[in-house]
Chain A
Amino acid sequence: ELKVEQNPLFLSMQEGKNYTIYCNYSTTSDRLYWYRQDPGKSLESLFVLLSNGAVKQEGRLMASLDTKARLSTLHITAAVHDLSATYFCAVDGGTASKLTFGTGTRLQVTL
């Protein structure tokens, strides 16, 4: 059974600081997704990482994938308050494309 773990579960950081969220998964997969969810809202797709070594950046967020280590990271650069949300990674288990989600990391950026 595919397991996806994220850490930390909760992250409080000051504006302007940098930090990294980690996503580990238990079985081979070459397709990993990052989503953002605001409280009570839907999930918004941030990144799709399709191969080993893939790196994607959008604004202050950068995601990378190491399929050999079964690890993805979401790096936040110079955080701003608007980035406060819960971030999920999700791994495509290869079976009919269903995604297994991580536990989520709740990010709180303080002024």
Chain B
Amino acid sequence: DSGVTQTPKHLITATGQRVTLRCSPRSGDLSVYWYQQSLDQGLQFLIQYYNGEERAKGNILERFSAQQFPDLHSELNLSSLELGDSALYFCASSGPNRATNEKLFFGSGTQLSVL
């Protein structure tokens, strides 16, 4: 168990809908990262938050947004869903000091199926 909690584990929805994925980082971790894993794109970095502020953006669509709350949990919002958004969405967290050998600790993921 990595200590990173993601809910829900599975999500089935229809095209055009909006969903929210939730992530609670490991205790004490300030950074939260969102990744998307699909068969055709592999593992893609979406966005990073550090202590409530957006730190870096990757290949995140405009239909997607995220935020990190004061208690450090994070939510990834996906709207106007398309079939191609079906993927496994991972959240990861890391501690405050990236100068050391901090690893990213990954949650178990949310499997999103858009029908």
- A residues at B contact (CB < 8 Å): 33, 35, 40-45, 48, 50, 88, 90, 95-104
Partner of B48, one of A44, A96, A102: A96
A98 B45 Cβ-Cβ under 8 A: yes
Q: Flag the segment in B15-23, B64-72, B76-84, B106-114 that touches A.
A: B106-114
In Å, the complex CA distance between A6 and B71 comes to: 38
For the complex, give the distance between the alpha carbons of A14 and B92 in Å: 34
Please list the residues of chain B having a beta carbon within 8 angstroms of any beta carbon in chain A: 2, 31, 33, 42-45, 48, 50, 55-56, 58, 90, 92, 94, 98, 101, 103-109, 111
Instruction: Tell me the nearest residue of chain A to B107, going by C-beta.
Output: A42
Task: Find out whether the CB atom of B48 lies under 8 angstroms from the CB atom of A97.
Answer: yes
Residues A97 and B98 in contact, CB atoms below 8 Å apart: yes
Contact A104 B103 (CB under 8 A): no
Q: A42-B2, A43-B90, A88-B43 are in contact. Are A99 and B104 (CB under 8 A)?
A: yes
A97 with B94: CB separation less than 8 A: yes
Q: Are B43 and A98 in contact (CB under 8 A)?
A: no
Name the one of B50, B55, B56, B90 contacting A42, with C-beta atoms under 8 angstroms: B90
Q: A95 CA to B55 CA in the complex, in Å?
A: 9
CB closest residue in chain A, given B31: A97
A48 and B31 contact, Cβ closer than 8 Å, known pairs A95-B56, A96-B48, A97-B98: no
A95-B48 Cα distance, complex, nearest whole Å: 11
CA distance A41 to B6 in the complex (A): 13
Contacts of B50 in A (CB 8 A): 96
- Choose one: A43, A95, A97, A104; the contact of B106 (CB below 8 Å): A43
B2 (CB) vs chain A CBs: closest residue? A42
Given A40-B111, A45-B104, A97-B98, 16 more pairs with CB closer than 8 A = A33-B103, A33-B104, A42-B90, A43-B90, A44-B2, A44-B106, A45-B103, A50-B101, A96-B55, A96-B56, A98-B48, A99-B104, A101-B43, A101-B44, A102-B42, A104-B43
Can you list 10 A-B contacts (CB < 8 A)? Answer: A33-B104, A42-B107, A44-B2, A45-B103, A45-B105, A48-B103, A96-B48, A96-B56, A97-B31, A98-B48
